Structure 1
Amino acid sequence: MTTLVTILTPGYADWETALINAASRQYYGLETRFATPGGEPVTSAGGLKVVPHMAVEDIEIDRVDAILVNGGTIWSTDDYPDISDLLRNAHAAGKTIGGICDGVMALARAGLLDTIRHTANGPESLPDTGYGGVAHYVSSQRAVLDGGIVTAPGTAPVSFAGAVLEALGMRNGDLDFYLGLYGTEHQAA
């Protein structure tokens, strides 16, 4: 069974990976799991408390198909969890890696954005990470998929969900229907 693990941190942005996890589980029958640093419960920016399935440190790369990094303010502080080795090893194993909003900073710190097309909240959100991919930065309001890596600004949970599912080989008419359904409010009236 295809398994996605979403990494959540204290103060994570509730809305950023809600759609990809709900659609994956409800419509596609995929397994969705959640991990936090140390396996500790975390509370979102909106006050939603989550008890995770596992600790980030216990993620077994060979048992997952995608690792998604949810955004949150911790990624722009000195208290961010260092998940660089996990992300590099997962990418080297051919797993889909996704980062949305400030979660993209974790991918930048891991060096995963240095040679591929990517986006983020803005180019100014990445330099303090040791980031070397400025030449590949794409200013986009939608998710960008390149080399099995999905990046998106925090305002793009719909296209992030679509790009993650596409990276997992699930691009079809059903996905296009769901993306159209969820994105209807953003179409010109």
Structure 2
Amino acid sequence: MVTVYVYILDTLADWELGYVTSKLHSGRFFKKGAPQLSLKTVGNAKDPIHTMGGLTVVPDCLIDDVAVCETSVLLLPGANTWNDPKQGAIIEKASELLSAGATVGAICGATAALAGFGLLDGRPHTSNGPGFLEMVVPGYKGQGYYIDQPSVSDHNLITAGSTGSLLWAKQIIAHLGVFEWNTLESWYAYFSTGKPEYFYALMQTLPSGDEA
């Protein structure tokens, strides 16, 4: 069983998670024999949070409940509240998970939180454009590892900028190995271009009854 933990915090950027959580939770496009996944929301308290889109979300579990093992996945969304000192606990947990071989995905403002902890200083990564991390993170030393792409996958660390949510989702799904290769490529091509031929190609890779 793979457990996907989604950290939730006030002002969470709802749209950045939509592609990846909907596919991992529903399992609709999973290949035969794909590992079972459980998706849980994680908070630093049991209080509900309010997303940027106006949704109220109550965490399923607390940071201390996150299992530090290779089969754990932690997703860190963008938000305007990453500067709050209380968010430091989840970044410490992310560091533990990376060291244990677990998967950590961070997008937009969450990449700055990782950079502030020094976790991007020696690994290929991206964020919201060249110069962004230098601007918001005093002491950032990862310039030599920065890649100007929407999303960058480096083994068990997958980072993305604010415009990279679709590619981020693709790279996370690929890393977990839950889609057939042709399903993932067709799905990504369709949603990145809108061309109908990719939709039909996607449908041909799926068991009867599945849809985009």
TM over 0.5: yes
Deviations 1:134-179 (A, max 9, x none): 1111112x21001311011111111010111122234611211221
Cα distance between partner residues in 2 of 1:113 and 1:13: 22
User: Cα offset for 1:117?
Assistant: 1.3
> For 2:131, what is the secondary structure of its paired residue?
helix
For residue 61 of structure 1, what is the aligned residue in structure 2?
68
What is the identity, as a one-letter code, of the residue corresponding to 1:153? G
C-alpha contact 1:5 1:64 (8 A) present in aligned 2:
no
> Is the CA contact 1:38–1:57 (under 8 Å) kept in the aligned structure 2?
no
Task: Kindly indicate whether the alpha-carbon contact (under 8 Å) linking 2:70 and 2:101 is maintained by their aligned counterparts in 1.
Answer: no
Greater Cα shift, 156-165 or 20-29:
20-29
**If you compute each CA radius of gyration, which structure gives the higher value, 1 or 2?**
2
**Candidates 56, 71, 80, aligned match of 2:78:** 71
Larger CA deviation: 52-61 vs 2-11: 52-61
**Cα pair 2:121 2:141 within 8 Å, conserved:** yes
Aligned counterpart for 2:120 among listed residues 108, 113, 117: 113
User: Aligned letter for 1:58?
Assistant: D
SS in 2 for 1:145: strand
Name structure 1 gaps, 5 residues minimum: none
The one-letter amino acid of 1:184's match is T
**1:39 touches 1:56 (CA, 8 Å); kept in 2?**
no
Q: Distance in 2 between matches of 1:78 and 1:30?
A: 30
Structure 2 length-normalised TM: 0.79
Please give the residue correspondences for 1:94-109 in structure 2 after superposition, counting only pairs within 5 Å: 94-109=101-116
Equivalent residue for 1:184? 193
Structure 1 residue 57: deviation in Å?
Answer: 3.2
Q: How many residues align?
A: 184
Percent of residue pairs identical: 29
Correspondence for 1:22: 22
- Could you tell me how far 1:104 is from its partner in structure 2? 0.8
Superposition pairs for residues 45-56 of structure 1, below 5 Å?
45-56=52-63
**2:160 is the counterpart of 1:162:** no
Unaligned runs of 5+ in 2: 31-35, 196-212
Superposition CA RMSD, Å: 2.0
How far apart, in 2, do the equivalents of 1:63 and 1:33 lie? 16
